[in-house]
Structure 1
Amino acid sequence: MKKIVIIGAVGGGATAAGQIRFYDPKAHIVVFDRDSTMSYAACGTPYVIGDVIEDERSLIMADPEQFKTKRDIDVKLRHEVLKIERETKTVHVRNIETGELFEEPYDVLILAPGGSAIVPDISELNSSKTFTLRSYGDMQKIDQFIKSERPKSCVVSGGGFIGLEMAENLKNLGLDVSLVHKSPTIMSILDTDISLIIEKELSLHGVKLITGTAIEKTEGKSIKLENGIVLQADFIIMSIGLKPNTELAENAGLNIGETGGIRTNEFMQTNDPFIYAIGDASENFDMVTGDPKRVPLASPAHRQAFIAARHLMGDKIAKKGLLGTSVLKVFSLTAAMTGLNEKAITDKKLDFATVVHTGNSNAGYYPEHSKITLKVHYDPRTRKILGAQCIGGKGVDKRIDVLVTAIYAGLTVDDLQALELCYAPPYSSPKDPINMIGYKAITEK
């Protein structure tokens, strides 16, 4: 009977455990995690804080008792793996509650350690009430602080996914929100023109946006920025980025890639064939360019868990790369993207052309419709799609989903005009924006 030890019990780790049990009813599976909560929907945490999701327990998909009763999987929370002994195939574990130290043998080890919020070295930051949002416990601390202390204002540092979602939810709670972002525009994964539309939306809803600077020093509720501006806020949300938790892997001699993640092959194996790495801390490769890539999002983690589980069963399903497909809600806007943005294409010195179409999400004569802008980058020689972005009201996500499928299938930008997509006035137009991109690309040859 094969023994599989998994480090990490959230998205990737919990999914891997469940997948392995589904395919192998006899495997001995043990899961360790430092946290006190497992298998929770981390993406929902800003919406619990914003009271959009009323029951925080609804984010928890499973608990150790359920995993043991229904799947015969041992999940040990509040247990930290301190060391991996590759020669003897054991891990050294500490029970955080009792301090007990013990060793756990494995036949196969799966690393799903996730990542940690980056907190920069800011002068006197400890004097201010500062939070990060990377775990269920972090969410509870922020939520309890807001409910008990009744703060009136907040500074959100970082204009990525978490920063924008927190800015929206805190603003909807009635707080004065200032969003500080070091780069000239927010959401660096988007092209500048798309990011500027989001910035306008933030302004329309009363979020004070300050770009091109960062927090330099704090003194209680006084927050000084590098450009000299001083803000007053009751607390700070620090959301400037994620550092993959790779220390355990590094100390075990596993290869770390140029993105900072644990380097894996197409089957999620590390340079040790008995050790796999999945989720936020793993490095794969870009589907478009083949270059190293790390995407700390839920969907890739679940797919990686499936690939690792199947490989363990002898079924070699290769990972075909990462696109970084993502979607974001900011008040009345939705923004989504997949593949390479303009900066990435330019940095890689790739030839490209761009088609942009602005139109209605569905029939303009139908009462409920909205404007959307769809932007597609493609190789002018091969006509293959390099990346796409969409922003507007309803229907943004479905357009990007179609383009993800097109990239995966190897379709060209010209093929888009031929796709027979769903049409009825509440949902689209006879010539969908996807089709229009294809028609426009043909005329630009």
Structure 2
Amino acid sequence: MRIIIVGGVAAGMSAATRLRRLSEKDEIIVFEKGPFVSFANCGLPYHISKTIKHRSQLIVQTADDLRSRFNIDVRVNSEVTHIDRDNKMISVNHDDQQEKLYYDKLILSLGSSPVIPKIEGLHTQSNIFQLRNIPDLDNIMSHLDESIKTVAVLGAGFIGIEVTENLIKRGFSVNLIERSNQILPNLDIEMAQSITNELIKNDVRINTGTTINKVSRDILYLDNGMSIQADAVIIAAGIRPNSDIAIAAGLKVGPNKGIVVDHDFKTSDSNIYAIGDVISVIHQITEQETLIPLAGPANRHGRQVADAIHGLSIKNKPEIGTSIVKVFSKSAASTGINEKQAKQLGLNYHVTHTFSYHHASYYPGATQVMMKLIFTNTGDIIGAQAVGNQGVDKRIDLLATAIKFRLKVDDLPELELTYAPPFGAAKDPVHISGYVAENIINSRSHNIQYNELENYRRDGYLLIDVRSSQEIRAMGLINGFINIPLEKIRDHINQIPKDTGIIVSCATGQRSYTAERIFINNGFRNVKNLDGAFSLYQLMYPQNIVK
């Protein structure tokens, strides 16, 4: 059987090597448009700063390696230009020479391409770059010489953020430009704020809610009326599936232009399969078609499509989109859907924010992980986000596993995790998120969000901060709150009418939950806990903190 694979990076090469492991008889041919196969495209930004010192470290396997080890016919600099479905033939352009080949099975691993916005003057400039492959990286590296002082990065998603960090580490001045009202749009705004602060701390100039209208030499004109000087521009304004050749061949694509596939990755043509960034997948939470262009799923697709072609059963479950990004000393990760998406879907959901140490607080080096859990009235976990200096990946990986296998919030405290003071806490941040969510589900606690506080203030609620007076002096107090330390609540409780509406807060929400329970157990019925408490509120509204 002759199996032709179009695209030789993550998904395509994963498919090719798995196919060979399953059979020595198949003829496997891989066509790659560029000069490199099996390269680490996720590592490209880190060569800019020489965090990854040598370009060769980004090349996982060469075409020659793959030929000798796996007996795979790898052809680089070869672009497949046409698919003749009726005759099961493809047309290939190599060195301006056209070739036609027959296939028994065709796998499209076409990947994705950067979205290039329509900007006046863009195509007349020689200082505009993108970063998707090694030739792009070579182009950037050859231009980033001593004459370059300032660089603008258009797009504050994963690639834009990673490029920004590595440009700063290289010594450039960076302007980051993002069309939406926040960086990292996959996160909710309060979770992205901590990363915004980290970028600002490292001298990144951030411009959100705007984009580039016009480029004229080294001046960028933004649609908000500002102009920015930049010696170079790197565009990272999103990606789109490379499905043009599939569309031209009449294969079915979704509204997002991703190729539609079945459980076995078959397209609308039973002899053609598609995998990786180019396909439309079903999201487990929304049950809708979407694009999830991530390396993990792409590599899994490659293995699974090989199994399917050889008649083996595969799982290929709906996807949830789990991702992480490093930003200087912090990292941010997410899984499932965010709160913006939950609102758009009209779901009835709850949100909790927790601040917990990544390992035992008394062991040196403990840092807090800020976590957001999104869950339904029935306890189904639909999304999670985390930001912190350490331990973020572990917690989101745990919650991604919980979502994937449909655990509920009351299952989270049941997770048995490794514990010793240098590695974790007896109550892990994931356990704590579960406990807090369980209290919400069972109406043992009622929380309000940071952006709802003003409404309760206007309605005359009594606002009580239960931190110590020393903490208040050191960190300040949210405007309108009075300070009654937790240990003094019982001393003052008879002075407060039981029909008073009360909002309680502390540093993170844990002590204020204890205060909430004290009030409730003493006959108060309208008591709410400020979710995330002072830590979250001051992150979003520092101007409302009184010191």
**What TM-score bracket applies, with the shorter chain setting the length?**
over 0.9
Q: What secondary structure sits across from 1:249 in the alignment?
A: helix
1:429 aligns with 2:429: no
Deviations 1:261-316 (A, max 9, x none): 11111221111111111111111100122210211111010111111011011012
Cα deviation for residue 318 of structure 1 reads 3.2
Aligned partner of 2:135 in structure 1 is 137
Matches within 5 A, 1:374-389: 374-381=371-378, 383-389=379-385
Amino acid paired to 1:141: N
Q: Give the Cα–Cα distance (whole angstroms) in 1 for the partners of residues 223 and 432 of structure 2.
A: 45
Q: Give the Cα–Cα distance (whole angstroms) in 2 for the partners of residues 354 and 247 of structure 1.
A: 40
Q: Give the TM-score normalised by the residue count of structure 2.
A: 0.79
Which structure has more relative contact order (CA 8 Å, sep 6+)? It is: 1
Matches within 5 A, 1:245-324: 245-324=242-321
Q: What secondary structure sits across from 1:329 in the alignment?
A: strand
Deviations 1:188-211 (A, max 9, x none): 111110111111111111000011
Deviates more, 1:346-355 or 1:36-45: 346-355
Aligned partner of 1:169 in structure 2 is 166
**Out of 130, 149, 153, which is 2:150 matched to?**
153
Amino acid paired to 2:402: A
**Out of 99, 103, 115, which is 1:118 matched to?**
115
Q: Give the TM-score normalised by the residue count of structure 1.
A: 0.97
1:240 aligns with 2:248: no
Question: Is the CA contact 1:267–1:318 (under 8 Å) kept in the aligned structure 2?
Answer: no
Q: Give the Cα–Cα distance (whole angstroms) in 2 for the partners of residues 399 and 222 of structure 1.
A: 43
Cα deviation for residue 228 of structure 1 reads 1.1
Matches within 5 A, 1:209-248: 209-248=206-245
Aligned partner of 1:330 in structure 2 is 327
Unaligned residue ranges in structure 2 (runs of 5+): 443-547
Matches within 5 A, 1:38-117: 38-95=37-94, 97=95, 99-117=96-114
1:407 aligns with 2:403: yes
Q: Give the Cα–Cα distance (whole angstroms) in 1 for the partners of residues 78 and 213 of structure 2.
A: 36
Cα deviation for residue 340 of structure 1 reads 0.5
Q: Give the Cα–Cα distance (whole angstroms) in 1 for the partners of residues 289 and 315 of structure 2.
A: 16
What RMSD over aligned residues (CA atoms) do the two structures have, in Å? Answer: 1.0
**Out of 338, 346, 360, which is 1:363 matched to?**
360
Aligned partner of 1:15 in structure 2 is 14
Q: Percent identity?
A: 38
Q: Give the Cα–Cα distance (whole angstroms) in 1 for the partners of residues 260 and 192 of structure 2.
A: 31
Q: Give the Cα–Cα distance (whole angstroms) in 2 for the partners of residues 161 and 319 of structure 1.
A: 25
Aligned partner of 2:435 in structure 1 is 439
Amino acid paired to 2:139: K
Q: Give the Cα–Cα distance (whole angstroms) in 2 for the partners of residues 150 and 46 of structure 1.
A: 20
Cα deviation for residue 355 of structure 1 reads 2.0
Unaligned residue ranges in structure 1 (runs of 5+): none
Deviations 1:397-445 (A, max 9, x none): 0001111111122210110011111111111111001101111112112
Q: Give the Cα–Cα distance (whole angstroms) in 2 for the partners of residues 409 and 241 of structure 1.
A: 30
Q: What secondary structure sits across from 1:270 in the alignment?
A: coil
Number of aligned residue pairs: 440
**Max radius of gyration: which structure?**
2
Cα deviation for residue 26 of structure 1 reads 1.1
Q: Give the Cα–Cα distance (whole angstroms) in 2 for the partners of residues 176 and 128 of structure 1.
A: 19
Amino acid paired to 1:285: I
Amino acid paired to 2:125: S
Question: Is the CA contact 1:38–1:63 (under 8 Å) kept in the aligned structure 2?
Answer: yes
Q: Give the Cα–Cα distance (whole angstroms) in 2 for the partners of residues 243 and 443 of structure 1.
A: 42
> After TM superposition, where is structure 1 displaced by more than 2 Å over at least 4 residues in a row?
none
Question: Is the CA contact 1:128–1:236 (under 8 Å) kept in the aligned structure 2?
Answer: no
Q: Give the Cα–Cα distance (whole angstroms) in 2 for the partners of residues 318 and 54 of structure 1.
A: 38
Cα deviation for residue 395 of structure 1 reads 0.5
Q: What secondary structure sits across from 1:257 in the alignment?
A: coil
